[in-house]
Amino acid sequence: MDLIINRAFVCVLLLSIGGFIASSIYLLSEKLIFRITSAKFMVFINTVVLLSFVIPFYFPVSISDGSEYCFTHYDLVILEGADLCSNFAAYWRSTFPFTDCIDHIWFVGVLLFFITKAILYVYTISRIKGKSFQIESDIWLEIFKNIRKEQPKKDVLLVGSNDTQSPFTVGIRQKYIVIPAIMINTLDAEEIDFILRHEYCHALRNDVARKVIILVFSCLNWFNPLYFLLKENLSAWIEIACDEAVTENFDERQRKRYASLIIKSLELENTAHRSHFYCVYYSETSIKNYKRRILEVLRGKKNVAAYGKAVAISLAVISLVCSNVVAKEADIPVNMFFSNQAVIFDANDFEIVSLPAEE
Q: How far is CA 94 from CA 26, 80, 97, 255, in A?
A: 38, 11, 7, 63
Q: How far is CA 36 from CA 68, 234, 303, in A?
A: 41, 18, 8
Q: Is the pTM of this model over 0.85?
A: yes
Q: How far apart are CA 164 and CA 157, in angstroms?
A: 17
Contact 334, 87 (CB under 8 A): no
DSSP 166-181: S-EEE-SSSEEEEEEH
Q: For residue 343, count other CB atoms closer than 10 A to its CB.
A: 9
Q: Domains of the chain: which residue ranges? A: 2-346
Q: What is the pLDDT along the chain (359 residues), one digit of tens a residue?
A: 788 888 889 899 999 998 999 999 899 989 888 988 889 999 999 999 999 998 888 888 888 888 888 888 877 777 777 778 877 777 777 787 777 788 889 999 999 999 999 998 888 888 888 888 999 889 999 999 999 999 888 889 999 988 888 889 998 888 999 999 888 888 999 999 999 999 999 999 999 999 889 989 999 999 999 999 999 999 999 999 999 999 998 999 999 999 999 988 887 776 654 545 444 444 455 678 888 888 989 987 666 666 777 888 888 888 888 888 888 888 888 888 888 877 777 767 666 555 565 55
